[in-house]
Amino acid sequence: MDESAKRLAQAIGARVKQERGSLGWTLDGLAEAAGISRRMVVNVEQGAVNPSVATLLSLSDALGVGLPALVEPPAEAGAKITRRGDAAVLWNGDLGGRGVLVAGTESPDVVELWDWTMEAGESHVSDPHSVGTMELLNVHSGALIVVIDEVEHHLGAGDAMTFRGDMPHSYRTEGETPTHFAMAIYEPGVGIDARLNKEGH
C-alpha cells in the first residue's frame, strides 16, 4: 500500500473498531453480522489491508453507519467539505482506473457521491446492495455498459440512468478510450436493524 492508502486503511480500521465497541460486539459478532471472516475483521481494524468496496459495504451495513461514515471525517458545523485530492479512493482498476467516494451523508438514509474513471478494458462487478438502494449515474466522457440482472444498457457521453442497486449489477467500459462518470447511491434505512438490536439488549 502507498502512504495515502495506508492512512485510509488505518482510519477505516479505527472507525470500525470504535463502532463495533459502541454496539458491544465481539470480533466474531461483527464477522457474523457482516458475513465476512473474523480474520478479515481483525485485518481491517488493524489497518493491515485495503478492503474491497464489497467488504466495506458489508461492514458499514452491519454496523449501521453507512459507507461514508467509515471513510470520511465527521461533519463540522452542519457542512462537510472534501478538498481536491482528499477523497477516499475505494476502487483501483487493474489498468489504472479509480472509484473515488467524494461525499456522503450519515445514516439512516445514506447518499453517496462517487467519481469514477475506468480505463479501456476495465470492469467492476458490484454485489447487490441492501433492499431499496437506488443508483444514479451520468457519463461525462467515453462509453459505459451497465449490466443489471444480466441485461446490458449502453451509455455514451451525456447519457444518464437510474436503476435498482439491490440487484446484481456491473460496469465495464466500451471502446478504446477511458470512461469518466459520476454516480450517486441512495441507501435507505442503514443501521436501523443494528440500532434495534442494540436497544433490545
**23-51 tens-digit pLDDT:** 899 999 999 999 999 999 999 999 998 88
Crossing angle for the helix pair 3-23 and 53-63, nearest 10 degrees?
A: 20
Q: With the CA atoms of 88, 27, 74 and 108 taken in that order, what torsion angle do they form, in degrees rounded to the nearest 10?
A: 100
Lowest mean pLDDT among 106-110, 140-144, 155-159: 106-110
Distance CA 91, CA 117 (A): 10
Where along the chain do the CATH 2.60.120.10 domains lie? 88-187
**pLDDT for the residue numbered 189:** 85
As a whole-number percent, the residues of the chain with pLDDT over 90 amount to 58
When pLDDT is averaged across residues 118-140 and rounded to a whole number, the result is 94
Q: Is the peptide bond before 68 cis (omega within 30 degrees of 0)?
A: no
**2 vs 162, higher pLDDT:** 162
- 88-187, superfamily in CATH? Jelly Rolls (2.60.120.10)
* Residue position matching grid coordinates 442497486: 165
**pLDDT for the residue numbered 74:** 63
Distance CA 164, CA 77 (A): 33
CATH number listed for the domain at residues 3-76: 1.10.260.40
Where along the chain do the CATH 1.10.260.40 domains lie? 3-76
pLDDT of 85 strictly over 90: no
**pLDDT for the residue numbered 200:** 46
SS3 state at 188: coil
Taking only the tens place, the pLDDT of each residue in 61-76 is: 889 888 888 887 666 6
The pTM score is: 0.79
